Structure 1
Amino acid sequence: MGWSYGLPALIVAVLGIVVSKVGWRWFYIAAVTTPRDVTALFAYIKLLILVRKYQRKNVTVSDIFQTQVAKHPDKTCIIYEDKVWTFRDLNEFSNRVANLFHTHGYKRGDVVCLLLENRPEFIGVWLGLSKIGVITPLINTNLRGPSLLHSITVAKSSALIYGEGFKECIIEISKDLPSHLALYQFNNAKNEPTEGAAKDMSTLLQSASKDKIPAHIERADHHDKLLYIYTSGTTGLPKAAVISHSRYIFIVAGIHYTMNFRNDDIFYTPLPLYHTAGGVMSVGQTLIFGATVVIKKKFSASGFFPDVKKYNCTVAQYIGEMCRYILATPPNPADASHKLRLIFGNGLRPQIWPQFVQRFNIPKVGEFYGATEGNANIVNNDNTVGAIGFVSRIIPSVYPISIIRADQNTGEPIRDEKGLCQLCKPNEPGVFIGKIIEGNPSREFLGYVDRQASEKKVVRDVFRKGDMAFLSGDLLVADERGYLYFKDRTGDTFRWKGENVSTSEVEAQVSNVAGYRDCIVYGVEIPNLEGRAGMAAIYDPDRVVDLEQFSENIKKVLPTYARPQFLRFLTKIDLTGTFKLRKVDLQKEGFDPNKITDSLYYQTAKGKYEALTKEIYDQICRNEVRF
């Protein structure tokens, strides 16, 4: 048989083997996802080229910033409350900081904490300290008492810089601060008197040199530590995650290329600069790529889009809870008359995604997922509603992240007979992990300052003996096309009536039905009943939620087993700096009216909510009320 017959027959045979192995469906999935995967692959290649170039040159964040200063010294760098800082302004301020602390004896490897509100000087302080190799822990400005003290001491700090507005909270813990800790008070123009041994940093900076630091000073290198960024502290004390220069550059460049940011973009971020989202992803576009960033002292739901319009912003940043607050504001002419081409962030719930995009005329949403300390980072950059990213179904090994089977309560991986982890199938929830490769900025896990806390986030012997992965602790699910969707945190999912209930999904629906109010959902134990019943705590200090309407509407959006059995109407709430509600104390208090002064309700057998009195509570505990 000649080639005219042999080659087609060979192709048919090979095709038959492939089809028998993967099925025809694979070709359909390949056809619809290839454009998405190719776009992501090109972005990833650009990222790798950039980070490897900087690695070869052994450059730091401040080195890269210097190139931006040289390119356009008079370009607007930061806008804050109508004050404009150019690249030259930020460079000169950071040089003053570097020279001041060098003359005070600080050197490479020292640690100086920073407790300051959002303002240009916040960026200038840690940038200046980095020029002499000093590591800067960025302290959450909401912390007080033991949490604040812990954040300072766990970092093994030599000094603390704090704004004048935080003087009182520093005085409160002063007797417990290490005796060697030097204090620097950063004052506004009023020149607030310092307390005790604290130095007046603002006055000292005026006489410090704005010129580049002397060449003989030992500088940091590419892999040195740059910042410590603390977890939000929704449970336990905050943990300090390590951010090196290489890690900072990787995060900034990664979001830059995957979101297709431009160097002439004007970014708007009202997020706290002590967290990765605002302080690295947005501010980093200025330091690394020369863009302009608008920062705010505090987030304002009603001021979000008016600010975006006022400053001609082209990119704005969000956190999911912020979108709900913004959506609840009255209509405003600025809602859709802006120049935004993209909003990016994490946590935009699918239940409000379409409404938010439509009302505010958003051309594109860039949803990302990732932990400050982790290496499992993904991006949804093609407007797929609800997705937080994707994995390729065609070339899954290009970006080594996976979803593995795990106990949904503990997060502990479920292993096979060989002791190895098991991949989840499409639409099967599991724990998200990222492969660890030491020395690779995209795959390295730097963890926390506390090494024991770091070890808890590492799973070993994943798909072969000896390999390692970062254990996110988050439950995700991947659909047939590889799109990833957040389900819940391990331990937050609870079981009721034989069904697994995701607190995040229930929270989204309860919030919508309650008029976009803050709410938190958790499972509570009822004596002598299996599982945990759902309870929703809703922030409604004026008690405007109509219970009858609420009960009717919740039936339309949640199955019976997922509807809250108990309601608690909060008169005050405790939010973290990233707008996350604190759950632990609420869960401990349960539904006991003997301990709780807030209004409590329970769901009757008819699906109505009625007041939970002490008498009813006793009946529930005696199992005289059916659920």
Structure 2
Amino acid sequence: PGGLSDSPGLGEPLKAPAGCARRLQQALLRSFWAPMLSSWVTGAAAGIVFLHLVQKFLFPYFWLDLNYLLKVVIHGLTLESYRLRGKIFTVLDRFVKEAERQPRKPFILYEGNVHTYQDVDRRSNRVAHVLLQEGALKKGDTVALLMSNEPDFIHVWFGAVKLGCVVAFLNINIHAKSLLHCISSCEPKMLVVGADMVGTLKEILPSLQKDIDVWVMTKDCTLPNVKTLLDKLEAASEDGVPVNLRSVNNLKSSVLYIFTSGTTGLPKAAVITHLQVLKGAAGLWAFGATANDIIYITLPLYHSSASLLGIGGCIVLEGATIVLRKKFSASQFWSDCKKYNVTVIQHIGEICRYLCNQPVKEGEKDHKVRMAIGNGLRSDVWQEFLVRFGDLKMCEFYAATEGNICFMNHCGKIGSVGRTNFFYELFFPFDLIKYDIQKDELIRNKHGWCEKVKKGEAGLLISKVNVKNPFFGYTGSKIHTEKKLLHEVFKKGDLYFNTGDLMVQDKENFLYFWDRIGDTYRWKGENVSTTEVSDVIGMLDFIQDANVYGVPVPGHEGNVGMVSVVLKPNRSLDLKQMYEQVVMYLPGYACPIFLRLQEIMEVTGTFKQQKFKLVSEGFNPSSITDQLYFLDRSKKSYVPLTKELYEKIFSGQLKL
């Protein structure tokens, strides 16, 4: 009755409404696909977890390596883009740009004074105008700079480069013959001397070449033929210098000479190009520093670490700030960091050791330093530094001023100077080869080729010289440049740069510094040329032979200087005169701390002075029958090295 008439007849299929059919279809699909999707998701998740575990255990540094490699590629592409566009953009160009973009941003904080980017730009303009008008400098001339850490070091540096000049950084610790050698080797048109270095200038002025224009950073001076710069800066224009004066057509053109102690002889002036400055200045950025960081620089500005990595690095970061100190002070270090809200510190290994040797104080971790960048940090000091001063990011690197290879420890592996991998070696090819330490020579096989060492073995670090990784050498004699090159190492026609450093590469591809080779040892963060030291000692009329070498001392980074001497017949050893000679003519770090008096100087089969045996014997008076002496600065003389004195040195009670 009623609605039954609309119902389907017997035998006809039951028709569901359209919406119901769709729901039924979706339900069937869910019942079919849901388990499958679930299994896929589960499988994908398991796969991701598995890959993560594989990466973690087999490739634990993958992401860190990838991040660092990307930075290397980005920096390289940036430089290449400038080249392709025909626009050479130097670090100085970037500084001028930053001075225009953020003129009031602090660039240098020095002894309580703030020097903004605009301040430094304008004062360097004043320097450029004075040097151009009064000194008659022209593009390509060399300006030698003998100044300690102060803002005017940077003003003169930038001012001279704005004129297209090459600036030579002179080591303020060297004197007399060595300093004259450095000045003459870079052939400067002008020498600019800081106010606190006038005493050093007096020593060399009578022997200085007459065609060098000498200026001092004072308002008045009584020295003959010496001009004053400070008074002239007050009246000089601070307007910009024409860009064409500093413009360059090639990044491989020279801009700086930085002196480095090589394996032989007196210091050599390494040629630093605009390209090398750009590479060095990228270091802070590569380690993760930013424009908001405040970098504390206590290292000498005449070194590449402070000037290229520090000053140049702040500029490349697009306007970071520098806290500059005239000289490193262990007692004031953390006070300065707190006072200026320092976030990044630069160091050499010795600085960290000096800080660890300071008396423990409360609140030593109460600072904002988050990153420490440097090299030469010993593993035990590294660990102690972190425990005592906080969990900083320690950024160790390896580089030579004149070298074409650099390693960066972007993973923070304690003790390592850097890390390599397959991709890094494509950009910067290098090898560790077998070296005979006792004979001080390369080991070549019967075919005359060098051989690579196995992982875990110490080998001489060499880096391939090619178009992408050139070696620019030194100024002056080409002999010095040639001595740093190795020909036909693995095959005919190949060419490698000899770093002079023995390194070890472990199974994880981390690299560790092992030792220096040849006639050089490292002390207080400086390379000391044994030839230079022996030449100075050989000037004494009672010395027949002098053999200089470095010996290890517990608790000290590097090796302490020691000299073994043989007297001329019928002459006696004048300890006081010996002291006066080394202190007068050598920088403090190069003065031999220990003196050994021998009757005969031992030589090798090729008539080279025997050093290996002397180094192994050290300076223990209990095991050495020869007379031993110690450089005592309080008594201004060398004094007999007694067993009691030796124990104080060995135990660390007496600081060297």
Q: What is the TM-score when the length of structure 1 is the normalising length?
A: 0.76
Query: Is residue 322 of structure 2 the alignment partner of residue 330 of structure 1?
Result: no
- Corresponding residue of 1:467: 494
* Letter aligned with residue 156 of structure 1: E
Residues 263-412 of structure 1 mapped to structure 2, 5 A cutoff: 263-289=291-317, 290-392=319-421, 396-409=425-438, 412=441
| 1:134 CA displacement | 0.6
Question: Share of identical aligned residues, percent?
Answer: 34
| 1:182 CA displacement | 0.7
Label 1:159 to 1:126 Cα distance change in 2 as closer, same or farther (>3 A).
same
| 1:51 CA displacement | 2.4
| Counterpart among 419, 423, 439 of residue 448 in structure 2 | 419
| 1:579 CA displacement | 8.3
Label 1:278 to 1:164 Cα distance change in 2 as closer, same or farther (>3 A).
same
- Corresponding residue of 2:117: 87
* Letter aligned with residue 627 of structure 2: P
- Corresponding residue of 2:203: 172
Query: Is residue 626 of structure 2 the alignment partner of residue 598 of structure 1?
Result: no
| Counterpart among 199, 208, 212 of residue 236 in structure 2 | 208
| 1:414 CA displacement | 2.2
Query: Is residue 194 of structure 2 the alignment partner of residue 160 of structure 1?
Result: no
| 1:584 CA displacement | 9.5
Q: Deviations over 1:124-151 (max 9, x none)?
A: 1111111111111111111111111111
- Corresponding residue of 2:554: 511
| 1:610 CA displacement | 12
CA distance in 1, matches of 2:300, 2:188: 22
Q: Deviations over 1:56-107 (max 9, x none)?
A: 4112332121111122111000111111100000100111111222223211
| 1:116 CA displacement | 1.0
CA distance in 1, matches of 2:400, 2:229: 33
CA distance in 1, matches of 2:412, 2:239: 46
Label 1:197 to 1:323 Cα distance change in 2 as closer, same or farther (>3 A).
same
Query: Is residue 104 of structure 2 the alignment partner of residue 78 of structure 1?
Result: no
| 1:577 CA displacement | 11
Q: Structure 1, unaligned stretches of length 5 or more?
A: 1-25, 495-502, 527-569, 612-627
Q: Is the 8 A contact 1:319 1:348 kept in 2?
A: yes
Provide the secondary structure at the position in 2 that maps to 1:136: strand
| 1:262 CA displacement | 1.0
- Corresponding residue of 2:471: 445
CA distance in 2, matches of 1:146, 1:58: 39
| Counterpart among 560, 578, 584 of residue 520 in structure 1 | 560
CA distance in 2, matches of 1:587, 1:444: 43
Query: Is residue 217 of structure 2 the alignment partner of residue 186 of structure 1?
Result: yes
CA distance in 2, matches of 1:395, 1:245: 23
* Letter aligned with residue 195 of structure 2: E
Provide the secondary structure at the position in 2 that maps to 1:62: helix
Provide the secondary structure at the position in 1 that maps to 2:380: coil
* Letter aligned with residue 433 of structure 1: I
Residues 535-550 of structure 1 mapped to structure 2, 5 A cutoff: none
Q: Is the 8 A contact 1:119 1:297 kept in 2?
A: yes
| 1:250 CA displacement | 1.1
| 1:366 CA displacement | 0.4
| 1:415 CA displacement | 2.6
Provide the secondary structure at the position in 2 that maps to 1:180: coil
- Corresponding residue of 1:198: 226
CA distance in 2, matches of 1:214, 1:493: 44
CA distance in 1, matches of 2:432, 2:454: 9
Q: Is the 8 A contact 1:227 1:243 kept in 2?
A: yes
Provide the secondary structure at the position in 2 that maps to 1:243: strand
| 1:226 CA displacement | 1.0
- Corresponding residue of 1:99: 129
Label 1:338 to 1:152 Cα distance change in 2 as closer, same or farther (>3 A).
same
| 1:413 CA displacement | 2.9
- Corresponding residue of 1:434: 463
| 1:572 CA displacement | 13
- Corresponding residue of 1:32: 60
Label 1:181 to 1:581 Cα distance change in 2 as closer, same or farther (>3 A).
closer
* Letter aligned with residue 389 of structure 1: G
**Aligned alpha-carbon RMSD (Å):** 3.5
Q: Deviations over 1:123-180 (max 9, x none)?
A: 1111111111111111111111111111111111111100122222212211211111
Residues 211-290 of structure 1 mapped to structure 2, 5 A cutoff: 211-214=239-242, 217=245, 219-221=247-249, 222-232=251-261, 236-253=265-282, 255-289=283-317, 290=319
CA distance in 2, matches of 1:574, 1:381: 40
* Letter aligned with residue 234 of structure 2: Q
CA distance in 2, matches of 1:372, 1:416: 31
- Corresponding residue of 1:554: none
Provide the secondary structure at the position in 1 that maps to 2:177: helix
- Corresponding residue of 1:124: 155
CA distance in 2, matches of 1:404, 1:214: 50
